[in-house]
Amino acid sequence: ETGVTQSPTHLIKTRGQQVTLRCSSQSGHNTVSWYQQALGQGPQFIFQYYREEENGRGNFPPRFSGLQFPNYSSELNVNALELDDSALYLCASSLHTGSEQYFGPGTRLTVT
């Protein structure tokens, strides 16, 4: 059984650019959640996708958007990057919306 994987591991972007982060969920999992973790903070919930539909969202602006594909992998897109977007982005998958989440290793995004 393969765990949750994320790509890329690290990324450096310039303010104003756009970025796409990718997540492959654990086999059989139909729910994916994305989190932003700034240095010294707990993970902040961005949104959750269940069977290709967004079914939960935190307090993030619309420039944070996502997709879930038929194989349940997912993308997080961030437009018009700001310096404060620099953080570790975590993806977590679960068997369904009410079950245990399994986290990926994260993507470290640096915006300069």
Partner 1 sequence: AQRVTQPEKLLSVFKGAPVELKCNYSYSGSPELFWYVQYSRQRLQLLLRHISRESIKGFTADLNKGETSFHLKKPFAQEEDSAMYYCALKTHGGYQKVTFGTGTKLQVIP
Residues that bind partner 1 (CB under 8 A): 33, 35, 40-45, 48, 55-58, 90, 92, 97, 100-106
**Minimum distance from CB of 103 to partner 1 (Å)?**
4
- Smaller CB distance to partner 1: residue 13 or 108? 108
| CB environment 3-38: b (16+ within 10 A), e (fewer) | ebebeeeeeebeeeeebebbbbbbeebbbbbbbbee
- Smaller CB distance to partner 1: residue 42 or 70? 42
- Smaller CB distance to partner 1: residue 13 or 50? 50
Q: How far apart are CA 60 and CA 24, in angstroms?
A: 22
